[in-house]
Structures are given as structure tokens and as C-alpha cells.
A and B are shown apart, each in its own frame.
Chain A
Amino acid sequence: MTALPTRPPATPGDSTWEGLVAAALVGTARRPPPRSSLLADLDNDTGGTTNWRSSPPDERGEERQLSEGAFGDPAAALLAEAAVLSAYRRAGRLPAPAPRTLPAPAEPDERPPCSTTAVEVLELILSGEVPIPGGVTLLAGQWLDGAARVGCRVPARLLPRLLDLGSTSPALQAALRTVVGPRGRWLARHHNRWGWAAGEPFDDLEAAEQRFATAAKGERPAILEAVRRVDVTRGRDLLTSTWKSDPAAERAALLPVLAVGLSDDDEPFLEAALDDRAAGVRQVTVDLLGRLPASRRAARMAERLQALVRRGDAQGEMLSLAPPGEPDAAARRDGISDAAPAGMGVSAWRLAQLVAGAPLSFWTERLGLSPAETVAVAATVAPSRKTGPRPGRPAGPLLLGLASAVVAQAGRVDPDWAVAVFAHRPSPPVLASLPHDLAAEQLTRLLGAGVAPGPAVAGLFAACPGPWPRFLGDAVLDRYRRLGTKAVLELQAALPVLAARLDPSALPLVETWVLALAEDQGLRRRVQTLGHALSLRAVIHREFFS
């Protein structure tokens, strides 16, 4: 790229003009302005086209006299000269020549344009003029997912706003990288806040692999994840390729990416990582291995548990438990810690970790208990050195451990486990570990049994993945209609979830709900925003998902 002259190119009268500027700078009291006959010249040369021409002859005579130095004051002479010359220069300005080389344009975008309706909805969402629970991000995210799925091109004029949105809402960046296309990537290079969008998407595995070793620290997990999503083995190989030389903090940042597509094939690598020097890396390793019930670590945990648990035989007790002893080196290597949560003894905590780490099949295969039976027993059992097992503690270590195991081993064990735990202890993580349809069923059942309003309910809503089937939406809205203004306790947290996950066909029910809130205008307005969101989602759905 050639540098351009910062000053405009030569324009008529340059030297005289510079003289005038110099005199004006220091002042005519110190430096008289250059004497020139410019005014007279101009009058002679171009008099035929200037306005002065139309003055009567005697007036023109006076003008000429002025230019010939009749100004009593050098300041007047300078200003008169500058007045004519600056207009002269403005009129006579010549453009600079084009630079020899220009920056490369954006790659063409071959995708078809998004429909007019889709664009209008996007603009409406971005404008923020329609109040929506959860803000612009929620609906923009759904719109972007749809556009990315369909593969349409957004109007270029919206690109700056979309890139700004991605800069403030990192959760939208993945979809945005696709939606903004080559023009957006090109544009992102022109603004440092948009750097996240400037790179190519990582669809070229080899290019991504080559960049991995040298990429900036913050970018490496994203590259690894992109590769891992396409090919789990290549992802693991990429991770191991630099593993030995990566510093501890880098290893701890990269290792969680193995959660993407985690399988027993990753187990040997993880088993070895239990011996990592860095505690942070070991922590991540323990977490990942906890999700693999077929791992060697899980088997060791089952053995440790086996030593403590016995099928009960007397007085109708189903289970007898011995408190775990001091962990040995191998147990420590497997991550057993003494950092018990508040309110729990060290011994109970050790037991909870053993239960969480053992495969859930331990209970069915070794003890012959069904998930429901196990949970029922666990709910009544808590170990205590003094009194032995006794019923009555609501969240004893057994149940806590089972809940952790259910969450960690989700997808690899019978969903009956999560159903059983949820029935005794409805918690967001357990609900989230269920397959979508079962989660919706369980939540519906819970709502049907009656739940007091409160933020905890909103937490459960948030854990139940969307889109929600209609029966769940009906149950939720039915409950709110019955709660009336009492719902205010949980709506703050629940409305954004409802806006994101209710089926758009629930709109009439929402409107009925709004009508029922006549006596509380504030609440009514808030619920109305839910209606706005559903209307917009209906359009998004029609445009992209049907």
C-alpha cells in the first residue's frame, strides 16, 4: 500500500496562500502579509464570471483600488486576499490520485439473501424497541441459529450491529461467525472489538490443526473444540501433540474440551493424567473420568464401596453401611478429598465421593437393587460413627453421591436413575441430565403435584431444555394462572426461560394469563413482554424451522 500525501495536491495560488497563512500565524503587526496583485489578476482573468461583474463600473473601480494596496490596514489586506484565495482554492481543488494498491475486497457470499420478513424481524429484535424478557440476546440467538441453519445472507447494513452484539454477548459468537459470512469476517478486521469474528471458521481441520500449536492462548481451546466436534480422535491427538510441553495453566484450560464427544477411548489418556503434576489438571481429569462408568477409576471406586456396603438382612433393613476409613494413596490419586461441604462431616463426604465415583450399575448388579429402591434407601440413610445408620436426614451423603453420579453418568446409564433421584430431590442438574422428553414429563408431574412459588422453581425451568412440549407449557401457564399475583416471586427469573422455550402456540394462553392480571399493572406489563417474545418466535420459527 502506498502512503498518500497527507496534504492535498498542489492547488492554484499555493505559494501566495502559504505566505498569507504564515503572516496570519504570527500576526500582521509583526509580519506584513505578502503583497500580491491577486485580486486585480483575478478581476482581470475571470471578471467575466465573477459576481463582481454585475457591480456598477464605479464599484468595480473601488474593488480594484482595494486590491492595489489601498487598505489602510495590513490586517484588512490579508483578510481580503485570503477571502478570495481560499474560495479560489476551494473551487480549484484537485483530487489526489488513487493509491496504487487497494486492500483486498471481501470474498463473495454466495448464500441466498434472508427473506424480507426474516430481516424485518431481526431489525425489530435488534432495535430493542419491543421489550422482551431476557433482552435482545435471547431472540437474536434464536434468529441467528435459524439463519445459520438455513444458510442465508443478512443485509450488509446489519453487519456492524450484529458484530457489536457478538462483542457484548459471547454466547452468540458461534452462530454469528457463520451468519455474518465472508463479508462480516472481512469487516471484523477493521475494528479491534470485532476480532473474535475476524478469523476463518474452523471448518478446515488441517488448517486448524496447523494453527493449534502456535495460536494465541485464548484461541487454542476454541480451535481444539472445533476439531474435536468434527473428529473426536483427531481432537484427542491434537491435544496430546502439545500436551508434554504445554504449561500447567494451558493444560487445565485445554483438557475440559475433551468433554465434547467424551468416550471410553479417552480413558487411557485420562487415567494417565491422574498422575499429572498440576492439581488443576487432576481436578478436571477426575471430573471427566467420573462421567465414564466403564473407566478403571470407576471400577476402583466400586471396589472401595463394596467394602463398606452390604445388603441388609435383618429387621427389614435393605442396606447396612460402614463408615469409610482413611483413604490410601490410590484413593487420593482417584481424587478422594477431605474438603467436605459445609454441614457435612469428612467421613460422610468421603462416602459421598465414593458413591458418586462408582458406576450406578454397582447398585443393580452387585446389590440387586433397582434404581427406585436404591434411592428410597439412600434417602433415609446417613452414616454416623456413633449411632450407625439412621433415617431422617434429608440430604445424606448417599443420596448426594447418587445425585452426583446420575448427573455425571447421564447418557450412559438408565434414565430411571435420574427419575428416581428427581422424585426424591428435585434439583436442576438432575433434571437437566434427563433426556428432553423425560425431563419435560418429570417437571410436569412435579408441577401437577403442586410447588410453592419461588426462585427454585425458576431454576428447574431453566434446567429443562427447550423447546418445551405443549403439555409442559400448558402445565406451567396453568399454574401461573392459578397463582395470580403470587407468581411475582419467581417471574423475574422464569420469564426469560419461558420466553425462550414455550411453544409459540402457547400465545393464547399467555394472553388469557395477562387478562387475569388486571389488578396488577406492573406484573401485567411484564407478562405481556412474554407475549411479544412468543409472537416474534412464531415468525422466526415459520421463517427458519418449518
Chain B
Amino acid sequence: MGGRRWTVDEVLQLAPDGSSAGSARRLSLSAVWSQAGSSGSLLWGKCQGSAREPYQVTVDLNEPSFRCTCPSRKHPCKHGLALLLLWAEGDGSVAEEARPADFAAEWVQRLAAKAPGSGAAAREATPPDPEAQAKRLAQRIETMSAGIDEFERWLFDLVRQGVASARHQPFAFWDGAAARLVDAQMPGLADRVRAIPGLIHAAAGDWAERLLAELARGYLAVSAWRRRDVLPDDVFADLRVVLGWSRRVDEVLDRGERVTDRWAVVGLAREEDDRLQSQRTWLIGQETGRVAVVLDFAAAGASLAVAEVLGSVVEAEVALYPGSEPRRALFTGDRSVVGSTDQLPAAGVDAALDQVATWVAANPFADRFPMTLGGVIPVIDSDRRLVVERRPGGATLPMSAAGDHLSLLALSGGEPIDLFAEWDGFSLNPLSVATEGALVSL
């Protein structure tokens, strides 16, 4: 993102509220700025505000992240936005320079030390001290191990006292446990715990099974963590995903397996809760046949990366995250749309479930699998939501209660269709349908 100059609109979208946007516009006059410059993805400048000393403002375009010495509690503050605007206007008042100003460089280094994942800012800073790095890693593992021990005790207590009572626990019970997992730097596990009450309510008759399966998966993570030293790399990578120990983007770019292909964009899923938006872009390589998923995240209310267009074929290289198939991927550089497809490499239900079995065997933590089903009829009435194979001896899979089932029906008209869906082990979440010469999103 650092290479392209932003538009004014893009900048203003970052404003926390209307008054910030207005103030920023007024401040984006070069007269109030001194020492404004840019280098790579970094912008900096000094803005004369109401204080005696000008505020020191630094922006890293990659996140984007902001720092300003002003006392405002808004984030980003009007000075950060104004600097971005000044730069976006591109009239040369933010000069290209070889080295960042001292206060900007200093901030970048501190940022890199605090959060190793913060993209280019970290990479462009001086290489981190290996000794300090090892120390931080040891600290993290210690924190996580302590969290794992506590999580195990929590699981045991639940199972000892019986999950029948867990059903009636308030949200706060689960949120509390999740908060402790976040403190122990395992946000992935925390998310799953936080999702349990929803799972209990959504699953009607089999809530106890679903709950036990979820708790057991948590315990599997506990056991695997204790054996992390002997786990194969792929399994450990899968474990890290469950725990929420994220990979740095540069680590994936540096060391991940690279695959170049013409990737068909076959499914787009978007989710949003009160904290986070996430987006999954499912890709199928037309040459290699490999399936990969690109994940994007953004804070609630912020703008997500623009997804690829469903049905487009994108020629690009991706770097794959470590772990089992199907793997998370990252576009490494330029990508160009080279065509479009209205086809899904659709399989039968049996073949799709066989594939799932293979994936589960490799990664028992996984709970979301891509499926392309060919020639299935969606059947939706008052008491059932199914996709049905129309052939002798055909099979049936249930669909999740959520989702745009009416659009699915509209696209099928009761006739067989090819569809792409995510399978969570219990039900299908249809994402797209091949119809009328295009892939159509649901």
C-alpha cells in the first residue's frame, strides 16, 4: 500500500468522526507544517498546534498506524489525518526523503519492538536484536503455558460439574474465560470460547454434542501445546492457528511456500461482529488444482481490503502459510485479472466428504472446509434446509440455518446447480453458485 498515493476520500474514511475529518481538512495546509517528509511507507511532519512546541506526527501507511504527540484521545487524531491529506494532495509539500526524521525513526523502532507483526515498519527498521527476540519468545511461551494450564483447569471444572449447567451460564461466564485467554496471548482460542453460547443456542437437539466437541477440541489444543516440541511443523502450525499465535506477514513472505497459478476466485465470505470484520477469499488454482484462502481482517467500522471479484481469474503468486491443507495464502505482489470463470470444479457429496476426512485427519482442529458440489438441489421448506444430489443413491447434506437461502432458491428454481460452500463439520454455508454464465455470490 505504501507505493500508491491515497485519495483524499480514502484518508477521510479513517477519520473517527466527522469533526476530526473537518479539522484535518483545515489543518492540511502546508503553512502549519514543518519538516514534512516521506520515505517508503512512512510519513512524518511537525504541526504547529495550540501548544508551544509543534506536535510530532508520524504515520505508517502499512497498517495504517499513527502517532502524534498531541494530547487528543481520538485515534487517529486530526494531525495524523491532516498529514495524510497533505501527502494525498501530492503537491510536494511532503517531500520524498532518503531517511526518516529522527522522531519518526525512533517511533518505528519502538513499534517494531512492541509488535513484531507490524509490517513494513518493522522490516525497514534496523534488524532486531536476536537476544532480545529470544527473550521475548521465551516470555510469550511462558505466558501461554500458564494460560494453557488455567484453561485446562477451567475445562476440567466444566466437565466435572456437568455441561448441563453450562448451558444456562450467562455470556459473561464465557466472555470471562475468553478474556483470560486473550491475556495469555491466545486470542484464537478465546474466539472459540466466546462463540460457545451462540453454538449452544443455534444447535437445537444436539447442543450437548456440539459443546462437548468444542471443549474436547480445546483440550486437544492443551495436550498438543504440551507436546509442541515433538509436533511436526505442519501440526504445530495448525496449533498456532487455533491458539491465535499469528504469523508475521514478512515471515510468510520470506519462508512460505510459493505457488504461482491462475487462481479462480470461487467464494467470498464476510463476517462481522461488534469488534472485528473478517473476509475469506477462496481460491482454486486452475493449473495446480490447489485450494487456498486469503484472509483479511479489519476493526469493526474500518474498511476491509477490497476483495477480488467473484468469478475472476487472477494470475498471481501466493505465499502459503505453514500448516495443513487447505492453507491460508497471501498474495506476494502484483496480481492481474486474466479472465473470468463461470465454472466450479464440482464434485459429488461423497467425494467432498472424503476430502474433508483427509483434511481432518491431518488437522483435527480445522472446522471450516471448502466444498464444491455439483448437481445439487437446494431444498428449503418449513422444517428442512438441505442440498440434495439428484441421482440414484444420491446423498444429502444439511445447510446452516443462517444465510441467504432465498437467493439460493432463486438461482436454482428447484433444478440442480453447482455451488461452492464452506462445511463446518455439521452443515453447509453456501457462498456462491455457478449460474447464467457467471459465479453469483450468495
Contact = CB atoms under 8 A, between A and B. Distances in A.
11 contacts: A24-B159, A27-B160, A49-B361, A75-B156, A78-B159, A82-B215, A87-B220, A90-B356, A91-B360, A155-B436, A190-B406
A97 B360 contact: no
B63 interface: no
Most chain A CB within a 10 A radius of its CB, from B396, B409, B415:
B409
A218 interface: no
A495 interface: no
A239 B157 CA distance: 75
B364 A24 contact: no
Interface in B317-364: 349-350, 353, 356-357, 360-362, 364
Nearest to A104: B414
A160 B410 contact: yes
Nearest to B212: A24
A92 interface: yes
Interface in B272-303: none
B208 A4 contact: no
Interface in A307-353: none
Nearest to B209: A21
B198 interface: no
B390 A98 contact: yes
A106 B435 contact: no
Interface string A76-95: 10111011011100111111
A26 to B, nearest CB: 5
A527 interface: no
B409 A82 contact: no
Contact of B208 (A21, A85, A156, A159): A21
Contacts of B364: 83, 87
Contact of A191 (B206, B208, B406, B440): B406
Interface in B238-276: none
Contacts of A190: 380-381, 406, 409
A7 B379 contact: no
B389 A186 contact: no
A105 B414 contact: yes
Contact of B411 (A79, A113, A156): A156
A28 B379 contact: no
A307 to B, nearest CB: 67
Given A102-B388, A157-B407, A186-B414, A24 B396 contact: no
Interface string B396-426: 1100000010110111011100000000010
Given A24-B215, A51-B231, A87-B217, 7 more contacts: A50-B361, A75-B157, A80-B216, A82-B215, A95-B395, A183-B410, A190-B406
B217 A86 contact: yes
A4 B384 contact: yes
B230 A59 contact: yes
Contacts of A103: 379, 381, 414
B94 interface: no
B162 interface: yes
Given A51-B235, A83-B220, A93-B425, A25 B435 contact: no
A99 interface: yes
B223 interface: yes
A80 B390 contact: no
Contacts of B393: 97-98
A168 interface: no
Contact of A156 (B386, B395, B436): B436
Interface string A38-77: 0000000000011100111001000000000000011110
A20 interface: yes
Interface of B: 155-157, 159-164, 205-206, 208-209, 211-213, 215-217, 219-220, 223, 227, 230-232, 235, 349-350, 353, 356-357, 360-362, 364, 377, 379-381, 384, 386, 388-390, 393-397, 404, 406-407, 409-411, 413-415, 425, 435-436, 440
A55 B223 CA distance: 14
Contacts of A183: 410, 413
Contact of B362 (A51, A55, A78): A51
A30 B411 CA distance: 52
A28 B159 contact: yes
Given A21-B209, A75-B159, A98-B388, A91 B215 contact: no
Contact of A4 (B216, B231, B362, B396): B396
B361 A156 contact: no
A6 interface: yes
B36 to A, nearest CB: 32
Contacts of A87: 217, 220, 360, 364
A94 to B, nearest CB: 7
Contacts of A30: 162
Contacts of B164: 25-27
Contacts of B409: 187, 190
A168 to B, nearest CB: 16
A80 B360 contact: no
Given A87-B360, A91-B360, A99 B396 contact: yes
A4 B155 contact: no
Nearest to A30: B162
A279 interface: no
A82 B213 contact: yes
B226 to A, nearest CB: 10
A91 B162 contact: no
Given A51-B231, A97-B396, A160-B407, A106 B209 contact: no
A278 interface: no
Contacts of B389: 98
A160 B406 CA distance: 7
A26 B379 contact: no
Nearest to B348: A95
B163 A29 contact: no
Contacts of B157: 75
Contact of A95 (B163, B206, B213, B353): B353
Contacts of A51: 231-232, 235, 362
Contacts of A157: 407, 410-411, 435-436, 440
B162 A27 contact: yes
A406 to B, nearest CB: 49
A207 interface: no
A21 B212 contact: yes
Contacts of B232: 51, 54
A156 B219 contact: no
B208 A24 contact: yes
A106 B357 contact: no
Given A25-B164, A75-B159, A86-B216, A97 B395 contact: yes
Nearest to B411: A156
A96 interface: yes
B340 to A, nearest CB: 14
A159 B361 CA distance: 42
A102 B384 CA distance: 12
Given A98-B388, A98-B395, A187-B406, A86 B162 contact: no
Most chain B CB within a 10 A radius of its CB, from A54, A55, A95, A159:
A95
Nearest to B395: A95
Given A96-B396, A97-B393, A156-B436, A90 B425 contact: yes
A359 to B, nearest CB: 54
Nearest to A31: B162
B407 A73 contact: no
B350 A95 contact: yes
Contacts of B415: 105-106
Contact of A82 (B216, B411, B436): B216
B193 to A, nearest CB: 15
Given A103-B381, A187-B406, A79 B159 contact: yes
Contacts of A191: 406
Contacts of A49: 361
Contacts of B406: 160, 187, 190-191
A30 B159 CA distance: 10
B219 A79 contact: yes
A191 B394 CA distance: 27
Contacts of A74: 160
Contacts of A83: 216-217, 219-220, 223, 364
